[in-house]
Amino acid sequence: MSRALDDSLDASGWSPFASGQADLAVSSEGEPSCLTLRLDFDFKGESGFIGVRKEVDVLLPEAFAFRFRVRGDAPRNTLEFKLTDHTGQNVWRWQENQFEFPANGRDLILPSRDIEFAWGPAGGGRPRRLKQIEFVINAGSRPGGQGTVWFEDLTFENRTGRKPKVTSSSSARGSNLATLLSKKPAHGWWPTASDSSPWLQIDFHNIREYGGLLIEWNPKQDARKFTVEASDDGVHWERVYKSSHSSGGRSLFQLKNKESRYLRIALNGPAGIRRIEVMPFDIARSLDELLYAAAARSPKGRYPRYLFREQSYWTCAGIPDGETCGLINEDGLTEPDRGSFSLEPFLQVQEEFLTWADARRSVSLEADDLPIPSVTWSLPNVQLEVTAFATGHRSEATFFARYQVTNSTSRKQNIKLFVAIRPHQVTPPWQKWNSLGGVSEVHDIRWKQGAAWVNGAKAVIPLTEPTQFGGAPFEQGVISDLLAEKQFPESTHIHDEQGLASAALQFDLALAAGETQSIYVAVPFGDVPKADAGFVRRIKKMDGAEEFAAAVRLWQRRLNSVQFHTPPGVATEAARTFRTAAGQILINRDGPALQPGPRRYTRSWIRDGAIMGGALLRSGDNEALPEFAEWYAGYQREDGFVPCCVDRTGPDWLVEHDSHGEFIYSVMEAFRFTRDREFLQEMWPHMLLAAKFIESLRAQRLTAKYSRPDHKAMQGLLPESASHEGYLAQPVHSYWDDFWALRGLKDIAAAAKELGKAEPARHFAKLANAMHQSLRESIEKVIADRQLNYVPGSVEWADYDPTATANAVGLLQNQQDLPSKPLQAMFDLFVSDTLKKHRGEIPWNNYSAYEIRIIGALVRLGKRAEALELLGYYLDDRRPRPWNQWPEITWHKPRTPGHLGDLPHTWIAAEYMLAFASLFAYEREADDSLVIGAGVDADWINSKGGISITNFPTWYGRLDLGMIGVSAGKYRVSLGGSLVVPAGGFVLRLPISGPIQSVTVNDQAIAEFNEHEAVVRQLPADVKLQFAATTI
């Protein structure tokens, strides 16, 4: 039955919203009993969106539909209809791209199956209680034009219907059809012995949509065959499903895009049904939704955690120079290649079947900081540790999963380890991007030549011969259920048209008291020749323990360049996280391409790569950034345009004007650390093209139009772009772009000077000065015009974005371009709000750990205490903490099934590395000095042994640093290493409250100091400082 929503189209009940400069006027037309909602809009030549929102309170049935009529005099744009649930955070959406608004109107009927989950912490499912309804006209990235659109006759329809009626061809004594659709049926149903063609029929009384059926069979039955038919009149039937070999305790299957009045289950032979559940339309949307439904009706642990709609965290495992990597999640599920099937362990101990849900789980890294992750299951009688690692080089690399089973009792135990091959990726469905996330279709699994070949292309190779191997297609049973029921499948060649085949390797272990046994399973990265016996033999000859030792040695060599010696607690955790982060950046690479994630973000953005490569330089890795810059240069256009992103399909030409400055910075930053003039000379033509392109962009904002008052704030800046995700709906004049362009112009001038190119050096230095002036004037004008107490992120939006502004202060060293008072006020507000969130004083839902870069900005602004407090906060928010990583999106409730971006998000890892490094030393370009100790905690240097760093990379070379409190008010700093003394010297800033009274360098008094800092111009230097007060 359809009904109109109360006052549904009265304009007074709808709130307008619009992006950027777009105008929107909302009004109603017609009689009060039959109102039409009118939207007059003008995008002012820009892109973006406009919309209206209505507050409602509607309980939604399982199946429903919204109806409305739309007409208009407007250009084609995307039309969206959105539903927001009672939390205000979960959104479902119907949309049609390039919607044509006909003058004579178009009737739209939107059944619930067409309104899909869009975003929010629910992670999926269907809406149950509505808080808001929206109509949105979205122009995307194109100009949206202007026009008028009318919405009429908005109604809501309940399509769930009455309780269905069940009939059958016959019923044996004791059957109870009346309760067959109940959650707790009384007796189930059997046909009579004489019924040669038994069937069950469901009458919904009206046409009803559905997504599938769940049939629970009566126990102790052989494999069965059946068909499902649908009809609207009970006379004409259409077969909608056929099962030829259903042997599990239940059958769960999809009926896609189906609706009918009747459903009939026709059995081919005797069989009994315990219960039937008509599944909602949701499960027909995808295989992921089907598996959500299966997991919801299974014991916890039989499926990956995310299928129970709980957040699941993962990390990467691979080599430093690979082309892909594996994953492991916190429950021990591993994914041996990008988007592949997974390997999942199960145990059988004393006839008890054990899963991740039965164990107390913990995670760790090898030596606490090497990127070799493990998951430990602790159970009363046994312990299982799953470790993921890889060995090899480039494309010739192999992923390993090590399963260490320990008998933790004082008696001998016989334990079964199962390693299941499952059609699930490690990343959840809410991470979906193309083929990544959720289901990984497995159509074929075949045991051949000592390996399980999956889809004919990937080999799962146990280095220890399994006791047995077997599998089944989905309709014959899920491998975890079969193992739990002690029905190990016999088939060694499994085919599943649906793509949900699963199998298991079984290892029977006889363990003495306290004994540990290791099982290694190898999966070579990439596809391998089908059934290559020689290849499998070569892998099977590997010694798993030796391969693991080789992986450990490899990572120790790669990550041991810089050594931190710090006191236990935050300082040591922070240093370990620095080292792990460097390793994770290298694992996420695809050859020379630096990528910010192992799955969802397996693309190479120039901004991410520039920062990740810069962070690796701070860890002592001088190879990754030059390789990245050389590779990326190959995608530059002839006019100098640098694409924002490149992946295996080629460049992305979305206009993001930060990319040109970032490219120049990448080259020059690599040179500042490597001093490789040959590399700089080779890259000069590309740098020059990018710099000239920046100049041409800026020229577009130097015309007479931008001298007028209404455009003055844009004068001398770069044009609009979408370099910030928040600007995708409407590109704006983003100061992020301008600061990167300014950095690029400074760096091209420095490169020209280094290469002896006097004229380009002079020209670009002059251009940098001019842009510096334009940028400063623009920011001051927007602050004055909008009466802001912070530094805005863009001209048009005047948005509060301290995370973006922190980049200008820290990495790009443009603090002098920012007005001091609003800059200080902005960061004071940010710190205050962030710490209140951390203490639970103000509510929050999620945030992005890009905020970590603010630590470095605070250090440079002299806010040591605030920087250290934030450091502790963000270290607490690692997910999970022992894996030393952050997702792009951090949810307040860690198990919220919401999108994470990717994990480990190594652009964030790089921001962390740069922020942490700045605590000890950072370059101050304004006076060509190296500032030392500006973020160090007083407790660290007052601890026994103080702190020390060896081989720490800087622009001036490798620094050896020691800092220690000697006695009350007396401190000692040692400076050494293979570096040159900067022109501005080494500026020492210790965490001491009182003023400096005296300083000696190599036992000679110096006078170049003030209350808070001392300048040292010798190397090596043994510096002794006397303060008037003790540490704060």
Q: How confident is the model at residue 3 (pLDDT cuts 50, 70, 90)?
A: low
Q: Which of 17-26, 69-78, 106-115, 936-945 has the lowest mean pLDDT?
A: 17-26
Provide the 10 A C-beta neighbour count for residue 220.
Answer: 6
Q: How confident is the model at residue 397 (pLDDT cuts 50, 70, 90)?
A: very high
Pull the structure tokens for residue 1025. 């400082």
Helix (H) or strand (E) holding 235: none
Q: What is the pLDDT of residues 800-844, one digit of tens each?
A: 999 999 999 998 888 887 999 999 999 999 999 999 998 999 999
Q: Report, as an integer, the average pLDDT of 996-1023.
A: 96
Into which CATH architecture does domain 305-548 fall? Distorted Sandwich (2.70)
Give the model's pLDDT for residue 519.
98
Homologous superfamily of the 165-285 domain (CATH): Galactose-binding domain-like (2.60.120.260)
pLDDT > 80? residue 173: yes
In 3D, which of 609, 649, 551 has the Cα closest to residue 326?
551
Domains 165-285 and 927-1027 equal at CATH topology level: no
Catalogue the E-assigned strands of 449-586: 451-454, 458-462, 468-472, 493-495, 502-511, 516-524, 563-565
Catalogue the E-assigned strands of 851-911: 889-891
Provide, rounded to the nearest whole percent, the portion of the chain with pLDDT above 70: 98
Q: How confident is the model at residue 186 (pLDDT cuts 50, 70, 90)?
A: confident
Q: Yes or no: is domain 2-158 CATH 3.40.50.720? A: no
Give the model's pLDDT for residue 430.
95
Q: What is the pLDDT of residues 856-879, one digit of tens each?
A: 999 999 999 999 999 999 999 999
Q: What is the pLDDT of residues 679-716, one digit of tens each?
A: 999 999 999 999 999 999 999 999 999 999 999 999 99
In 3D, which of 279, 276, 247, 269 has the Cα closest to residue 63?
279
Give the model's pLDDT for residue 34.
81
Give the model's pLDDT for residue 1032.
39
The residue count for the chain = 1032
pLDDT > 70? residue 1: no
Catalogue the E-assigned strands of 218-341: 224-231, 238-246, 250-267, 273-279, 314-317, 326-329, 334-335
Give the model's pLDDT for residue 223.
66
Average predicted confidence (pLDDT) for the chain: 94
Q: Yes or no: is domain 927-1027 CATH 3.30.70? A: no
Give the model's pLDDT for residue 442.
98
Judge whether 632 and 646 are in contact, CB under 8 Å: yes
pLDDT > 60? residue 2: no
Give the model's pLDDT for residue 37.
94
Q: The CATH number of 572-722+732-919 is which of 3.40.1280.10, 1.50.10.10, 1.10.1040.10, 3.50.50.60?
A: 1.50.10.10
Q: What is the pLDDT of residues 302-339, one digit of tens each?
A: 999 999 999 999 999 999 999 999 999 999 999 999 99
Give the model's pLDDT for residue 529.
61
Q: Report, as an integer, the average pLDDT of 1008-1030.
A: 93
pLDDT > 80? residue 248: no
Angle at 554 between CA 550 and CA 559, to 5 degrees: 150
Q: How confident is the model at residue 343 (pLDDT cuts 50, 70, 90)?
A: very high
Q: How confident is the model at residue 1031 (pLDDT cuts 50, 70, 90)?
A: very low
Q: Report, as an integer, the average pLDDT of 535-540.
A: 89
Q: What is the pLDDT of residues 268-314, one digit of tens each?
A: 877 889 999 999 888 999 999 999 999 999 999 999 999 999 999 99
Domain ranges of the chain: 2-158, 165-285, 305-548, 572-722+732-919, 927-1027
pLDDT > 80? residue 245: no
Cα separation, 666 vs 1006, in Å, equals 38
Cα separation, 936 vs 790, in Å, equals 27
pLDDT > 90? residue 35: no
pLDDT > 80? residue 161: no
- The residue ranking higher by pLDDT, 45 or 640, is 640
Give the model's pLDDT for residue 534.
82
How many whole angstroms from its chain centre is CA 401? 23
Cα separation, 813 vs 809, in Å, equals 5
Give the model's pLDDT for residue 530.
53
pLDDT > 50? residue 614: yes
